């Protein structure tokens, strides 16, 4: 295992960010047989609570929220949402109030994600799955304003053009200097992938792994956000939709085996909601001969390791 030394701390809008290492997964039999090298950009180490891509997706959203006179964030997510977890922690750290609109019915006791969010001061409100589908409509936003007053709205997963901006900035600063041919990352709402696509401006091969069953719609979402942000249509990317293992927050024996192997043999912690599915998918693609000998593959670790406690 080879790890680049962790670098120094800097601050943005009072939320610290720690520069993160690149870890090589050395001597994995699948990689050795294919003659490829596998690396992981350890963004799970960039902040103890607002980790991975959530730091970058929230950066400009939080800066805008701090300028809002309401002092309150409203956002959306499922019961196992890394975004809900990170937003609650970030809001508390920078002195904002937060409200989480959660898909589905209340289940007690709260799972670790929602329990943490509540302990950070986030007020939780539940919506039926039918009502939740209306979350992007102006009428629903008006309803929320009548219920909660003024607030700064952050969409599900934090994925808007402010998130794309933050993720593009991350890719320009910290991914562009890494030597790789193919980049893999988890896709849940698409903002991170859109930002990275924009940063590379048609270069490299960028592949997303949908963590959702029926995730083909993400291709349209990513394309739309990338084009709205950059004004350009890029073609150097794709999304794999066969590694969801049953759907969001679902798991399978082979997924759990992959997570355990990475932890015990390579010292790489993964979660079963996002990053485990990506690494499992990458290894499957390598084994299937998708990459030529000598290829350098980079996986973006998008954090969310609290997902290991999700059952």
> How wide is the angle at C-alpha 203 spanned by C-alphas 201 and 208, nearest 5°?
90
CA distances from 204 to 180, 237, 240 (A): 8, 8, 17
Q: Are residues 152 and 165 in the same domain?
A: no
Where in the sequence is the domain holding 213, given as residue range(s)?
2-51+160-309
**pLDDT surpasses 80 at 5:** no
Q: Are residues 275 and 194 in the same domain?
A: yes
pLDDT score of 13: 55
The tens digit of pLDDT for each residue in 44-64 reads 999 999 999 999 999 999 999
pLDDT score of 248: 87
CB 191 within 8 A of CB 57: yes
The tens digit of pLDDT for each residue in 95-125 reads 999 999 999 999 999 999 999 999 999 999 9
**pLDDT surpasses 90 at 80:** no
Which of 131, 158, 185 represents a domain boundary (last residue)?
158
How many domains would you assign to the chain? Answer: 2
Q: Are residues 19 and 168 in the same domain?
A: yes
Q: Are residues 210 and 233 in the same domain?
A: yes
State how far the Cα of 122 lies from the Cα of 124, in Å rounded to an integer. 6
Q: Are residues 185 and 175 in the same domain?
A: yes
Which H or E element spans position 105? Answer: none
**pLDDT surpasses 80 at 307:** no
Q: Which CATH number goes with the domain that contains 188?
A: 3.40.50.1100
Which of 141, 158, 175 represents a domain boundary (last residue)?
158
Q: Are residues 241 and 178 in the same domain?
A: yes
Q: Are residues 40 and 88 in the same domain?
A: no
State how far the Cα of 20 lies from the Cα of 56, in Å rounded to an integer. 13
């Amino acid at each position: 295992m080879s790890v680049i030394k962790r670098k120094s701390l800097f601050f943005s809008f009072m939320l610290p960010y720690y520069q993160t290492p690149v870890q090589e997964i050395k001597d994995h039999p699948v990689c050795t047989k294919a003659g490829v090298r596998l690396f992981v950009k350890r963004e799970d180490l960039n902040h103890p609570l607002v980790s991975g891509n959530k730091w970058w997706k929230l950066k400009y959203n939080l800066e805008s929220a701090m300028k809002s006179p309401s002092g309150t964030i409203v956002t959306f997510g499922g019961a196992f949402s890394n975004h809900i977890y990170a937003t609650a922690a970030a809001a508390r750290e920078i002195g904002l109030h937060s409200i989480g609109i959660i898909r589905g019915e209340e289940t007690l006791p709260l799972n670790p994600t929602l329990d943490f969010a509540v302990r950070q001061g986030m007020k939780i409100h539940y919506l039926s799955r039918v009502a939740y589908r209306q979350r992007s409509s102006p009428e629903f936003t008006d309803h929320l304003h009548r219920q909660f007053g003024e607030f700064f709205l952050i969409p599900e997963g934090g994925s808007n053009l402010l998130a794309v901006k933050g993720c593009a900035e991350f890719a320009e600063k910290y991914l562009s200097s890494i030597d790789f041919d193919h980049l893999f990352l988890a896709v849940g709402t698409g903002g991170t992938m859109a930002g990275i696509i924009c940063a590379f401006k048609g270069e490299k091969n960028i592949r997303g792994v949908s963590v959702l069953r029926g995730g083909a719609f993400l291709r349209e979402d990513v394309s739309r956000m990338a084009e709205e942000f950059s004004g350009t249509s890029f073609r150097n990317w794709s999304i794999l939709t066969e590694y969801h293992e049953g759907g969001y927050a679902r798991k399978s024996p082979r997924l759990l085996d992959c997570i355990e192997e990475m932890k015990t043999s390579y010292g790489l912690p993964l979660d079963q909601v996002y990053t485990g599915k990506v690494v499992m998918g990458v290894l499957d693609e390598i084994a299937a001969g998708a990459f030529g000998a000598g290829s350098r593959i980079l996986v973006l670790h998008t954090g969310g390791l609290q997902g290991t406690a999700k059952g």
